[in-house]
Amino acid sequence: MELTRNITLGVYLPGETAIHRLDPRTKIIAATMLITLLLFIKSYEAYGFFLIFTAGIIVFAGIPLSYALCGLKPMLPVLLLMWIFQFFLYSTPDANILFSWWIFTATDAGLHMGNIITLRVLFLFTVTTILTLTTSIVNLTDGLESLLKPLRKIGLPSQELVMTMIIALRFVLILAEELDKIIKAQMARGVAFDRGSFIQKTRKLFPVFLPLFINAFKRAEELIVAMEARSYSGGKGRTKMKTLHMGRVDLGAGLIMLLFTILMIYIIISAAPQI
């Protein structure tokens, strides 16, 4: 049993490709642009182009496609649930009814909305995964910090905020590893997590989540002490060992992003009247 095998979020896959070499700020801005575009995409053609573009990045960055996709596996049940909700509960006045059952009515508009929302979450996850897979934690921190720096002027504690985000990201994997050990420790005492009714199965989670939470709090406390022991006092007066520089690769990547964005905006606008 290996729980951490399918976790790709927050994992860095070292490499030497141009995508890896990009300035983290370029990558963060590009990812933000892609995510913003995703929020407006409502047609399948646009998703088609989006798929080609992201798949291109994945291949270009040398990430094995199967690995990039395996992170989605644990999310599938949630996605399915979301799709079902949209399918049965979303409707517009002029939608065609596909079928009715009990209090639920399924319409073609609901089907379309379910598909769109599911695809949106899938792509959201993929874009973020590509970002973390190709950017080391240190670079990610530096990039985010540098981008959020202007907001310091209006009182946003950018450094602290970024630190919190990065720690959260780091903990995804740490907690997953811990969860793996706890599940094994309880399995060793004969718990069959896959047997019994729904209520019985839920009750079996108690011996897993209690130690997980207690250990997480303990870990957090230790982390605070360790940070304070090294005189961490927030972002004020901190300097960087490595400073970030944008280069030619970043210019190229920026141009490609710009072209893609224009293309997407064109598709979005031309397909707008659909819903």
Partner 1 sequence: MPIEVTDLCFSYKKGTPFEKEVLQGVTLHIEDGEFVGLIGPTQAGKTTLAQHFNALFIPQQGRVIVNNCDTADKNADLIRLRHDVGYVFQNPDYQLFAATVGEDIAFGPKNQGLKSPEIIKRVSRAMSQVGLDYTSFNDRDIFALSGGQKRRVAIAGVLACRPKILVLDDITAGLDPRGREEILKVIRKLHSEEKITIIFISNSMDEVAELAERIIVVDRGRIVKDDNTRQVFRKTADLKAIGLEMPEIMIIAERLSSCGYNMPDAVLNLEEALQKIAENLQEGQVKKHWN
> Which residues of this protein are in contact with partner 1, per CB under 8 A?
1-2, 4-5, 11, 13, 63-64, 66-67, 70, 178, 181-182, 184-192, 206-208, 210-211, 214-215, 218
Report the distance separating Cα 18 and Cα 65, nearest Å: 18
**Residues 27 and 196 sit within 8 Å (Cβ to Cβ):** no
Residue 55 vs 272, nearer CB to partner 1? 55
Residue 156 vs 192, nearer CB to partner 1? 192
Residue 137 vs 148, nearer CB to partner 1? 137
Q: What is the closest distance, in whole angstroms, from the C-beta atom of residue 72 to partner 1 in the complex? A: 14
The dihedral region occupied by 155, where left means phi > 0, alpha psi between -120 and 50, and beta the remainder, is: left
Pairing of strands 97-101, 104-107: antiparallel
Q: What is the closest distance, in whole angstroms, from the C-beta atom of residue 251 to partner 1 in the complex? A: 29
Report the distance separating Cα 180 and Cα 58, nearest Å: 28
Q: What is the closest distance, in whole angstroms, from the C-beta atom of residue 47 to partner 1 in the complex? A: 27
Residue 63 vs 95, nearer CB to partner 1? 63
Residue 216 vs 271, nearer CB to partner 1? 216
Residue 65 vs 224, nearer CB to partner 1? 65
CA distances from 51 to 33, 44, 56 (A): 15, 10, 8
Q: What is the closest distance, in whole angstroms, from the C-beta atom of residue 215 to partner 1 in the complex? A: 6
**Residues 97 and 55 sit within 8 Å (Cβ to Cβ):** no
Report the distance separating Cα 167 and Cα 223, nearest Å: 10
Q: What is the closest distance, in whole angstroms, from the C-beta atom of residue 10 to partner 1 in the complex? A: 13
Q: What is the closest distance, in whole angstroms, from the C-beta atom of residue 200 to partner 1 in the complex? A: 11
- Helix-helix angle 158-187:206-229, to 10 degrees: 140
Report the distance separating Cα 256 and Cα 112, nearest Å: 30
